[in-house]
Chain A
């Protein structure tokens, strides 16, 4: 095995591990928001690492360009989708887990506030 192959295999294994941790987080964490946190971050980084590991052995070319584009778009759109989901849950009145640490979250949107009180 060449050095590049070892690095690429290590990246793919690391990416799989990150996604496994993310999956464990989705199963084990207490509420929707924290699970989303695990799923969003784990998938984004895990996919990025796996695709990077796949792109390394083929070198510069059309295939690695396509993989680089996929990595770029996953890094843009996955957090956006996670943001949209969390926001939709917040606006429709899903309350965060009560034992979460930290200050209660304030929102600057009165309509969202009203709807949450309603729910």
Chain B
């Protein structure tokens, strides 16, 4: 399958991947004050892996994001999210009350900054989980049947 793919598609797809991933990070960072956020960023990031798998074959795509890595990242994102939320609890606030992360008697400016960092932090957690889940979903559904020898090579 991957041999039958045209060099044009292979060339463009390979060079598109870093741009897609950079754009995913842009969407993640943009989520605070515009359309975007962790979920959309994660889906866009996962689409770069899906593109690799579509163009270079199941095996090459899985190599770019091995199962043990996606299985590790998926719960890691939840852990990041929950940790930031619980950290707010530890600092004496409510769950996910980011402004408390700045400390007990922080200035308004510091509280504002802490709010932004907390928000970006949980969005990053969401992005990790969504990326890994989307990649896992795609590869589980695209998995070649055992008797068919596979989609690629």
Q: Which candidate, B3-11, B95-103, B106-114, B116-124, is the interface stretch facing chain A?
A: B3-11
Cβ contact within 8 Å between B8 and A83 = yes
Inter-chain CA distance A84–B19, complex, in Å, is: 19
* Chain B CB within 8 A of A117 CB: no
> Per-residue 0/1 for B1-31: is the Cβ within 8 Å of any A Cβ (1 yes, 0 no)?
0001010110011001001000000000000
* Chain B CB within 8 A of A111 CB: yes
Inter-chain CA distance A77–B12, complex, in Å, is: 8
Name B's interface SS.
Answer: helix
Inter-chain CA distance A87–B22, complex, in Å, is: 29
* Chain B CB within 8 A of A112 CB: yes
Q: Which 6 A-B pairs give the minimum distances between C-beta atoms?
A: A80-B12, A84-B9, A87-B6, A83-B8, A80-B9, A91-B4
Minimum Cβ distance to chain A for residue B51 (Å): 11
> Per-residue 0/1 for B74-109: is the Cβ within 8 Å of any A Cβ (1 yes, 0 no)?
000000000000000000000000000000000000
Q: Whose C-beta in chain A lies nearest to the C-beta of B15?
A: A76
Cβ contact within 8 Å between B19 and A87 = no
B→A interface (CB under 8 Å): 4, 6, 8-9, 12-13, 16, 19
Cβ contact within 8 Å between A83 and B6 = yes
Q: Whose C-beta in chain A lies nearest to the C-beta of B16?
A: A77
Minimum Cβ distance to chain B for residue A28 (Å): 28
Cβ contact within 8 Å between A109 and B12 = no
CB neighbours of B16 from chain A (8 A) = 76-77
* Chain B CB within 8 A of A97 CB: no
Given A73-B19, A77-B16, the answer on whether A109 and B4 have CB atoms closer than 8 Å is yes
Partner of B12, one of A76, A111, A112: A76
Inter-chain CA distance A87–B8, complex, in Å, is: 11
79-119 of chain A: CB within 8 A of chain B: 80, 83-84, 87, 91, 109, 111-112
CB neighbours of A91 from chain B (8 A) = 4
Minimum Cβ distance to chain B for residue A82 (Å): 10
Minimum Cβ distance to chain B for residue A58 (Å): 17
CB neighbours of B4 from chain A (8 A) = 91, 109, 111-112
Q: List 20 A-B contacts (CB under 8 A).
A: A73-B19, A76-B12, A76-B16, A77-B12, A77-B16, A80-B8, A80-B9, A80-B12, A80-B13, A83-B6, A83-B8, A83-B9, A84-B6, A84-B9, A87-B6, A87-B9, A91-B4, A109-B4, A111-B4, A112-B4
Minimum Cβ distance to chain B for residue A27 (Å): 27
